[in-house]
Structure 1
Amino acid sequence: MGLIDRMASRLGYEKRAAEDPSWAALAPGIGAYAGLSARAAENLSTVLACTNAIATALAYVPALVYRRDADGNRVEMPAHPLNRLVRGGVSPQMTWPDFLEHFVASTLLTGNGIAVIERAGNGQLAGFRYIPWGMVTVSELSSGRLAYDVSDGRGNTRRYLEGGEVLHLRDRTDDGKIGRSRLSRAAETVNGVQTANQHAASFLANGASPSGVIEVPGTMKPEQRTALRESFQARHGGASKAGSTLILDGGMKWTAAQVSPEDAELLETRKFGVIELCRLFQVPPPIVQAYENNTFTNAAQAGLWFATFGLAPWARKIEAEFARSVFPSGGPYELELDLSGFLRGDPETRWAAHKIAIDTGVLDPDEVRQIEGWNPRPAEKRPAPGNEGGQADG
């Protein structure tokens, strides 16, 4: 055991076995599970589009801080330090939308998102520092808690932090501690889509035309075959040389292979790959501009479906992680990511819901105005009681 290992052991750190498959997910990216890194996975346009759709949408929605009073009622706390960070930025270099977008995207691609919680000298929340997952090493203490060894990426500074000092958003885990990327869980699907894209790129690079056969009378020596193949490829291979004139002599004949991209179902395979990747991220295809099987009806419902099944689970995970790490244990404060704004794209549904809320007494007109982002109506312009519709008394 080395010096560092002995010191870590005395501090209560436990070294995990290298062959533990769940701990292997600590490697940067998505490791050998999918055969490509998280950054390489984003070369697949659908992975990039799905990641951006979820991360950007969650960064866009209002983030509100509430306090529960003794009766269990929620009161918005605009002066809370977290609310100031949401409005003014989590650090001098990063706004709240930028931070949340990085945080969620890392979790979607690698299974884990990490941010250091910065506090002032009096313990008050002062900011967050996003840490790329590849710069973090996780150890398990003898108590069962996790500790995070954060590097600056240059090998100069290392900082050990315990669970309460970091935000750790994770995708579903195998061991209850470290998240595992859904890209790694569906490695064959991801690799299949990547292979189809590589085939399409190769097809286009070779002139978008099928290869063929050169028939030569008699028998050729190996070096003659090699010379013919290389000279033919140099003269006619590649998309930039498509349509060039082919000249053969010595009785040679060219026979094109009768295989088209439609026969190989290349286009259909790539379209299906888009749907497969959307399925991994719970993103409706219209959200990532895949309109092949789209209709007006399902397009109108895609946003609502996306908010309900694609965003709401992640919003709840983020809220729970803030409750665990940022706010005091059992304290009265809570974060809410307000997804109701996704109804703003459907004014008919939104205003019908407002009318029902007013008619049933759930909301009053001023509360509806507040939801819409408007100031309360001036007192002199408010309708008389029982005449909220705004019509003049008879």
Structure 2
Amino acid sequence: MKAFDFLSRFLTGDTRAERRDAAPVEPILPFFTDMHVGTHQAENLSTVLACVNAISGSIAALDTYVYRRDPAGRTEAPSHPAARLLRRPNDRQTGPDWMEWTLASVLLHGNAVSVIEWDGAGRPASLTPIPWPCVGITRLPSGRLRYDVMTWDGKPRSYFPEDIFHLRDRSDDGVIGRSRISRAREVLAGARALQDYSLSMWRNQAVPSGVITLLDSKSRPDPATMAAVKAEFKSRMSGPRNAREVMFLGGGMQWQGMSLSPEDAEALDSRKYSVAELCRIYGVPPPIVQDYSNNTFTNAAQASLWFAQNTLMPWVRKIEAEFARSIFGQGSPFELVIDMSSLMRGDYASRWQSYGIAVQNSILTVDEIREQEGYNPRKEGADATV
């Protein structure tokens, strides 16, 4: 089958050519919807772009570990294939690149899909990201799901869930995640309308900064005189070098300044409120996206902690759970842990105060604390206090 034919089926949602069973199959979602266009329009809003970058970039910067659990506790397994996969998921991306792509895709499209390639021993060898518009999901008569994808080499392929890493936003059917852009279309439409209005106002405005009027409304100068006045005024008063120059008008002329209308000024001011609305969609505190209009020095640190606990942690748990399903498999003693301790430590003084309490109550050792802070283990014979 030609790649062009498969792509046309992606665009139309036609899955008939890929059916493997005589019985009809049920397509879960058309391969391509208008949401692909909507995501590009949404990212033109700086607040949406900042929210997506803040969440995806923050999680991509966190350290990831693979642990093996047993009755005695858990031990790190740095040589596990999944640990190597997290450092280099494929030939084109590093671990942070893949993590950032995955989070950005799920935040914009509601879904992020990567194909899992296995080696001859059944170990995960690579994670290849697939853009969501190039993915179609079909429910087979047996009840199983089939992922039909257009891979990077332009070839159509089909996979079953055990070969797919699928991170999804909140779903309405348990299969397809629904993007927040589609859930809050009117909010984004309002923000876009305000942005488009502001751009149009500056691009197409025909409002001068002022006008020159004649004190004697009955007398009107000839066109040549008007052209000469206009040229002289422009040469002497316009441009940065002539800013704040003193202006003298003769011949019964008077200068009258003009400003923005109250309606236009109100429309521009309304854009500030759209920032808070868009932040609510993604659960990001406004200070995280550089909106400090209602910020103080005392609540900036609290906003960062709130961001880590209420925005990042749910996504971290989803990623860990999806790794447990797709990479490790049911019943595996291994698990993925994304370390968020660096975001939960708080300020410098309170962090070390809490460490002191942890040592006094035998919750942590000095070496464990030094490891968290990035120091080498203490030397033999050193004082065992923090």
Does TM, scored on the shorter chain, surpass 0.5? yes
Alignment of structure 1 residues 30-109 onto 2, 5 Å:
30=35, 36-71=37-72, 73-87=73-87, 89-109=88-108
Query: Are the structure 2 counterparts of residues 136 and 13 from structure 1 closer, same or farther at C-alpha, using a change threshold of 3 Å?
Result: farther
Query: Are the structure 2 counterparts of residues 368 and 192 from structure 1 closer, same or farther at C-alpha, using a change threshold of 3 Å?
Result: same
Q: Corresponding residue for 1:117?
A: 116
Any idea what the Cα deviations from partners look like across 1:15-39, whole Å, max 9, x if unmatched?
33xxxxx835x535626xxxx5212
Q: Corresponding residue for 1:325?
A: 326
Give the superposed CA RMSD: 2.9
Question: How far apart in 2 are the matches of 1:328 and 1:371?
Answer: 30
Identity across matched positions, percent: 46
Structure 2, unmatched stretches of 5+, are 1-13, 211-237, 240-255
Letter in 2 for 1:129: T
Query: Are the structure 2 counterparts of residues 208 and 57 from structure 1 closer, same or farther at C-alpha, using a change threshold of 3 Å?
Result: farther
Question: How far apart in 1 are the matches of 2:264 and 2:90?
Answer: 55
Alignment of structure 1 residues 292-307 onto 2, 5 Å:
292-307=293-308
Query: Are the structure 2 counterparts of residues 91 and 153 from structure 1 closer, same or farther at C-alpha, using a change threshold of 3 Å?
Result: closer
- Determine if contact 1:165/1:325 at 8 Å carries over to the other structure: yes
Pair 1:23 & 2:35 matched: no
Question: How far apart in 2 are the matches of 1:117 and 1:29?
Answer: 28
Letter in 2 for 1:98: D
Q: Aligned with 1:40: secondary structure?
A: helix
* TM-score, scaled to structure 1: 0.78
Question: How far apart in 1 are the matches of 2:340 and 2:372?
Answer: 12
Structure 1, unmatched stretches of 5+, are 17-21, 213-242, 245-254
- Determine if contact 2:66/2:82 at 8 Å carries over to the other structure: yes
* TM-score, scaled to structure 2: 0.79
Letter in 2 for 1:352: Q
Question: How far apart in 1 are the matches of 2:307 and 2:82?
Answer: 27
Q: Corresponding residue for 1:389?
A: 385
Query: Are the structure 2 counterparts of residues 378 and 258 from structure 1 closer, same or farther at C-alpha, using a change threshold of 3 Å?
Result: closer
Q: Aligned with 1:379: secondary structure?
A: coil
Query: Are the structure 2 counterparts of residues 140 and 364 from structure 1 closer, same or farther at C-alpha, using a change threshold of 3 Å?
Result: same
The count of aligned residue pairs is 333
The equivalent position to 1:8 in structure 2, one of 13, 19, 32, is 19
Question: How far apart in 1 are the matches of 2:295 and 2:82?
Answer: 41
- Determine if contact 2:308/2:344 at 8 Å carries over to the other structure: no
Any idea what the Cα deviations from partners look like across 1:128-158, whole Å, max 9, x if unmatched?
101110111111122333210011367x411
Q: Aligned with 2:19: secondary structure?
A: helix
Give 1:343 shift. Answer: 3.8
Any idea what the Cα deviations from partners look like across 1:237-284, whole Å, max 9, x if unmatched?
xxxxxx89xxxxxxxxxx999862566512321011111000000000
Question: How far apart in 1 are the matches of 2:206 and 2:117?
Answer: 55
Query: Are the structure 2 counterparts of residues 41 and 4 from structure 1 closer, same or farther at C-alpha, using a change threshold of 3 Å?
Result: closer
Q: Corresponding residue for 1:189?
A: 187
Q: Aligned with 2:261: secondary structure?
A: coil
Q: Corresponding residue for 2:365?
A: 364
Give 1:209 shift. Answer: 3.5
Deviation beyond 4 Å, 4+ runs, structure 1 = 255-259, 261-264
Any idea what the Cα deviations from partners look like across 1:18-67, whole Å, max 9, x if unmatched?
xxxx835x535626xxxx52122111111110000000111000011111
Q: Aligned with 1:265: secondary structure?
A: helix
- Determine if contact 1:13/1:139 at 8 Å carries over to the other structure: no
Question: How far apart in 2 are the matches of 1:303 and 1:347?
Answer: 14
